[in-house]
Amino acid sequence: MDSFDIFKKLSVGAKFKKPEKIAIHPEDDKSTAKQIKVKTVGDRVPEALSTFDMMKEAYSLSPVLMENLKNSGYTVPTPIQTQAIPVMLQKRQIFACAPTGSGKTAAFLVPIIHHLNKPLNKGFRALIVSPTRELAKQTLRECTRLCEGIGLRAHTFTKINKDKEKFNPKLAQKFDILIATPNRLVFLLQQEPPAVELNNIEWLIIDESDKLFETGVRGFRDQLAIIYKACGPNAKRAMFSATYTVEVAKWSKKNLDGLIAVTVGNRNTTTTMVEQELVFVGNEEGKLIAMRDLVKKGLSPPVLIFLQSKERAKELFSELIYDGINVDAIHADRTQQQRDNTVKAFREGKIWVLICTELMGRGIDFKGVNLVVNYDFPSSAISYIHRIGRTGRAGRSGKAVTFFTNDDKPMLRSIATVMRDSGCPVPDYMLEMKRLHKNTRRKLEKQSIDRNEIRAKPHRYHKPNADIKDPASSKSKKESNDKSKKVKVKKNLVSIINVDQTSKVDKKRKLNVSKERKVVKKTKKSSV
C-alpha cells in the first residue's frame, strides 16, 4: 500500500452528485427559472424585465447600447438584471445581493451608461468602487465594451501611470466613469489640492459591498466615508454583492432614501452550478499528495488554487512547477505588471493552473474555470462562497474541491452549512459539530492558521497535529532548523539537475524558485 492508498483510506471526503443544470436565463428553462426567486423589499418596486427589449420600450434605451449588449452575447437578462436594471433606470437606490457569476456587473453598468447618455466633458459623473485593482480593470473592460459607439469614457487608476494622475483637470474632464479601489481613490482625494474631483458624481456603485464594509486592517469603511463625502449628497448609491452581511443591510436601510433591496435566490449560498467536495487530507503533506492525485487523475484546465497567504502561494508554486505543471502564481508580492501579465496569460490559456490568494477570490471572471481547489481551508463561509464562485459562472458548470485538516475543524461546520444550504448533501457529523460563538468565529476568521511549510519531503520537524504525536517535537529549535536547511539544499540541487531537461521559460522560472524560497523563509507572516 503506497502513501496515496493510505491517504485514501483515511479520507472521509464527501463526494457529491453533480447538480442538475440550472438556467441562468429565465427563457432557457421555464421550470428551473421559477426556482430562482427574486425577492424585493421597498416601496413602488418597478416591474421586472423579462427581455432586454422591454428596456427599449419602457425606458427608451439607446439602440447603440442595445446593440452592445447583443454583441456581448447578452440576449436575455439574468435574474438580477431583470430587477436591478429597472430599479436603477428609475433612479432608485438599491442594495442588491445575487449569486457569484450572475451578471451583477452589467446590472449596474447598463443603467449608469443610460443615465450618463453622452460625454459632457465635465469629468467623472459615475464612480464604481472595487476592492481590488484586478476587479477594477475587469469592470473597466466590460464598461468600455458596453460604451462602444456612445462616446462615454471610463478610467481606472493604476500604479504604472501614477505620475499622470497628478491633478490634471483637462485629463479628468475627458472621462465620464471612474472605476477605482478605495485605497488609491482616498490617497488621491487627500492630496492638496485633491488629485481627483468627484463633485459631479451622479451614481456611486459599491461593488462587493460587504467586503468594503469590513472593518479590516485597511479600514475600508473609513475610506468609504471619505469617498461618500467627496461625492456629495446628491449622488445616487447602489450596493452590489454576492454575499449578504447584516452590517451592509443595516447601513443601506438607514442611509439610502427610497431604498429597494433585491435578493436573488437564498442569501449566502453558493451557485447551484458548482459540484462541491470536501476532502479530509490529514495534514499538510496530505494536501500535497491529494493535489498530486488530482493532477494524476487528470486536471481539466483552467484551474484556480486558493491559499491563505502569499508565502504559501509561493511555496506551492515551487512544488508544482517541479511537477511540470503549466502553473503560475498571483499575490500581493508580485508587481502590478507581473500580476497583469499573469492574469492575461491565464485568460489566454497560456497558464493552465493559477495559484492565488484571497486577492483573486472576489469578482474575478475568468471564462470557463473548470475547477477551484481550496488548498487552504477558507477562513469564513463568505470567503468560501466567493472563492468557489470563480467557477460555475454564467450558467456553466464547475467543480470545487476543499481540503481540510484537523486544524480546520473549528470552521468546518459553517462551510458544511453553506454546502447544505446550496443543495449539496453533507455528512451529518459535520453539521452536528459544535456551533461557534459569534465572537469566536469572528476572531478565527481574522487570524489565519499557522500551517507547516508546503514541501514535498515529509516534515520531520513539523508542528504536531492535535491527534498525532511528533517524536521530534522535543528536539531543540536550532537542531531542527539545521536539519531542515540540509533538506532545502538537497532540493535545490535537484532543481539544477532538472533545469537542463526543460524549456528556456521553465529554466528561468525554476531558477527563480530557489530565490523565492529564501524570501518565503524570511517573510513568514500571513497576508495576501
Ligand X SMILES: Nc1ncnc2c1ncn2[C@@H]1O[C@H](COP(=O)(O)OP(=O)(O)OP(=O)(O)O)[C@@H](O)[C@H]1O
Binding site for ligand X (CB under 6 A): 73-74, 77-78, 81, 98, 100-106, 242, 363, 365, 389, 393-394
Cα–Cα nearest to 381, from 339, 426, 314:
426
Closest approach, Cβ 180 to ligand X, in A, equals 17
Residue closer to ligand X by CB (options 76, 295) is: 76
Q: Measuring CA to CA, how many Å separate 14 from each of 276, 291, 298?
A: 9, 16, 20
The SS3 of residue 63 is helix
Cell 442611509: give the residue: 255
Q: Is 239 exposed, middle or buried (0-12, 13-18, 19+ CB in 10 A)?
A: buried
130 touches 206 (CB < 8 A) = no
Residue closer to ligand X by CB (options 219, 395) is: 395
Q: What is the total residue count of the chain? A: 528
Q: Measuring CA to CA, how many Å separate 245 from each of 99, 105, 183, 287, 447?
A: 14, 20, 22, 32, 19
Residue closer to ligand X by CB (options 282, 389) is: 389
Residue closer to ligand X by CB (options 132, 405) is: 132
Residue 346 sits at φ, ψ, to 5 deg, of -70, -40
Closest approach, Cβ 75 to ligand X, in A, equals 7
The residues, any chain, with a CB within 8 Å of residue 497's CB and separated by 6 or more, are: none
Closest approach, Cβ 88 to ligand X, in A, equals 15
Residue closer to ligand X by CB (options 242, 353) is: 242
b/e 356-395 (16+ beta carbons within 10 angstroms → b): bbbbbbbbbbbeebbbbbbbbbbbbbbbbbbbbbbbbbbb
DSSP, residue by residue, 380-418: SHHHHHHHHTTSS-TT--EEEEEEEEGGGHHHHHHHHHH
Task: Measure the CA–CA gap between 12 and 280, rounded to whole angstroms.
Answer: 6
Closest approach, Cβ 433 to ligand X, in A, equals 28
Residue closer to ligand X by CB (options 49, 230) is: 49
Q: Measuring CA to CA, how many Å separate 308 from each of 315, 444, 481?
A: 12, 13, 24
Closest approach, Cβ 77 to ligand X, in A, equals 5
Task: Measure the CA–CA gap between 46 and 56, rounded to whole angstroms.
Answer: 15
Closest approach, Cβ 72 to ligand X, in A, equals 6
DSSP lists the bridge partners of residue 276 as 400
Locate all alpha helices (DSSP H) within 147-219, ordered by sequence. Answer: 169-173, 182-189, 209-212
Residue 37 sits at φ, ψ, to 5 deg, of -80, 135
380 touches 411 (CB < 8 A) = yes
Closest approach, Cβ 363 to ligand X, in A, equals 4
Residue closer to ligand X by CB (options 142, 470) is: 142
105 touches 362 (CB < 8 A) = no
Beta-strand relationship, 274-282 and 303-306 = unpaired
Task: Measure the CA–CA gap between 89 and 31, rounded to whole angstroms.
Answer: 28
Closest approach, Cβ 69 to ligand X, in A, equals 7
Residue closer to ligand X by CB (options 79, 286) is: 79
Among positive and negative, which fits the CA dihedral 81, 86, 87, 90?
positive
Closest approach, Cβ 460 to ligand X, in A, equals 42
Closest approach, Cβ 414 to ligand X, in A, equals 20
Closest approach, Cβ 321 to ligand X, in A, equals 28
Closest approach, Cβ 393 to ligand X, in A, equals 5
Closest approach, Cβ 53 to ligand X, in A, equals 13
Residue closer to ligand X by CB (options 358, 407) is: 358
Residue closer to ligand X by CB (options 102, 326) is: 102
Grid coordinates representing 275 are 459540484
Residue closer to ligand X by CB (options 102, 283) is: 102
Residue closer to ligand X by CB (options 102, 452) is: 102
Which residue lies nearest ligand X, judged by its C-beta? 103
Residue closer to ligand X by CB (options 282, 302) is: 302
